[in-house]
Chains A and B, each alone.
Chain A
Amino acid sequence: MTHVDIEMLTELKELMEDEFKNLLQTYLDDSEKHVIQIQSAINAGDANDVRGSAHSLKGSSGNLGATQLAEFCRQLEFMGRDNELSAAQSTYDTMLEEYQIVKKIISGELMKS
């Protein structure tokens, strides 16, 4: 399974034109924030915050073609929604691993353009 759907990313590039770089940078800034927010929400046992941040990261990751990352975020979002955080930390760890890979790829793209 690929970490980022390159075809989708190419399409996005066509769509966004000059704004493409800006979009990638915005994603990197936002996702960094969300990843930190999710961890602190898990620590605080705040299911609602887990849900909100995971939802947001899920959306933007999906849009950029990071399908696998989006799926881990979805799992976290649902845990938050169902107020069931017992497995959240382990899912978060998996998600974080995937996030690091995606981040590398996106950063690479940003350098290229």
Chain B
Amino acid sequence: MIDESGPVKVLIADDNDADRMILNAIVQKQGHLVVMARDGAEAVDKFESERPHIVLLDVLMPKMDGYEAARRIKEIAGEELVPIIFLTSIKDVHALAECLDAGGDDFMSKPYNRVILEAKLKAFNRMRGMHATLQHQRDQIAIHNEHLVHEQEVAKAVFDNVAHLGCLNAKNIKYLLSPLAVFNGDVLLATRKPSGGMYVLLGDFTGHGLPAAIGAMPMAEIFYGMAIKGFSMRDILREINQKLKNILPVSVFCCACMVDMDFRKNMIKVWLGGLPDCFLYRAESKEFISIGSRNLPLGVLDNDFFKDDMQIFEMTANDRLYIWSDGIHEACNVNQEMYGEERLVEVFRQAEKADDLFDSIKNSVTEFIGNTERSDDITMVEVKMVEEEYLKDTALIFPSSKSDGPTDWAVSYELRDDTLKTCNPLPLLLHIIMEVPGLHPFSGEVYTILAELYSNALEHGVINLKSEMKSTPLGFAKYYSERSRLLRELKNGFVRFHLSHKPSVDGGNLIIRVEDSGPGFGYDKFDNPEKSLNAYCGRGIALIQELCKSLQFVGAGNIVEVDFEWKQ
């Protein structure tokens, strides 16, 4: 920092001895230090060795003229402000222009006036002080900014490891997400499920910057961690909600939408809390329905009060679901008007081809705001209903398994009324089974088998619902409301799992036996699986038959036993 109150060192460069004497006297009388030079070359040398603060330069000097000396001095001074006052007549316009070109800051003509020179020295000294302060502050800002950017980069790198893109690259997903979205509070996560389905979660945290990004980390970790273990959407949402509620300050929460896509049953479950309405677009009829938020955002209520009601929709192949943060609705044009939902609805009305809809929305918003840079703030995802086979590129990859563990064992597990009403036993059972060394690569199949057997036992056994109900969209909805009601009223129901595993030379046999409290059913029809393959209700059983070495019904049909044979 420059102390502008201290003595100022002034370089006087003039080849005329008498003039130099006069200037020297004036400057010294003002209490400044003087360094003198007789020509331009000496002036540059003296500047380098003495580092004066202000330079008084004659224009015409032997060896090197004042212009050249000024250029060199400015070059040596670099970022430091060294005012140069040319000693020349201000009547000579050519000379003045040349002085300015050479970096001169001011002029003074002979005869020298003490008062004017004093005023000039004072003013330039003050300017030096301000310049130094400015540069110091600029450097501070640059350092702080660099620090901030570095912190954000580290945070982003950590976040990217935790909240990787999951299966957002799947062929049925299109999305818009700024590369730095985590710092505007938006999170987009997607993963395949062990059962072959898919979870998509779009979150919009309140606030910006690091505070908004902080909640995204546990959210992503829970999402991916629980999804791979086979937890239901309800369990995942509750876990995220409680976690966010515990760790975030009251003013920070997360508006979110989570979707559970079932590509086998062609249905989706949607949970929406605080985000704008999602749109479900029917490719065939070109109709669309809007799905409204029925819940508070994540991280607001304790789990005791948290509502995990799902909205269930049937979705045929090529239908699409659109989820977005309020970035689209609130995107402003130059006149500060918001894009709003009406324009969005209009895009859907005008849509000709489902395949173009995503780009139409994007273009419409971009065109509206008229500035492509700001469209970075928009987060949106389109998920398409497809055949599961279509997504085999993005099937879930399980971590490699341990080399030793239990191979020869059996376990029984009975679930009774309260458990059946509220709990999902599958993650626990899958966890036990996956302790078998080498079995990990088959966890998708095993999960599918367990899930199908369990839902059959619960829905068609314990509460005795008829799956034929689901063959129409209306019945579909009725089926799920009946399911909830019957489960609520359940008495003396049970589902018993009996699992046993026997090792073989290069794999093993996993026997899964599931018994339920229901009356059983006519299982003869499954002797001919071809016949039932096309039936809505028979899908699960057909799938299990494909995956297992054998499947048999026992007793009244309320017991089913499968043998899953696996080889490494």
Give B contacts to A, CB under 8 Å.
14-19, 21-22, 25-26, 29, 58-60, 62, 87, 89, 110-112, 114
Contact = CB atoms under 8 A, between A and B. Distances in A.
B29 to A, nearest CB: 7
A71 to B, nearest CB: 11
Nearest to A34: B16
Contacts of B18: 23, 26-27, 30, 60, 63-64
B32 to A, nearest CB: 15
Contacts of A51: 60
Contacts, number: 55
Given A30-B16, A63-B19, A63-B111, 16 more contacts: A15-B29, A16-B21, A16-B22, A16-B25, A23-B18, A23-B21, A30-B18, A55-B60, A56-B15, A58-B110, A59-B58, A60-B16, A62-B110, A62-B111, A63-B22, A70-B110
Contacts of B111: 8, 62-65
B89 to A, nearest CB: 8
Contacts of A23: 18, 21-22
15 contacts: A15-B22, A16-B21, A16-B25, A19-B25, A27-B18, A30-B16, A55-B59, A55-B60, A56-B15, A59-B58, A62-B111, A63-B110, A64-B18, A70-B110, A74-B89
A60 B19 contact: yes
Contact of B21 (A11, A19, A65): A19
B17 to A, nearest CB: 5
A26 B17 contact: yes
A75 to B, nearest CB: 12
What's the interface size class on A, roughly? 20 to 34
A28 B111 CA distance: 17
B22 A30 contact: no
A59 B59 CA distance: 11
A103 B111 CA distance: 18
Contacts of A60: 16, 18-19
Contact of B26 (A15, A58, A64, A74): A15
Contacts of A26: 17-18, 21
Interface of A is mostly: helix
Contacts of A56: 15-16, 60
Nearest to A80: B60
A15 B114 CA distance: 9
Contacts of A8: 111
A52 B60 contact: yes
Contact of B62 (A27, A52, A63): A52
Nearest to B23: A63
Interface in A35-49: none
A83 interface: no
A24 B26 CA distance: 16
Contact of A63 (B29, B59, B89, B112): B112
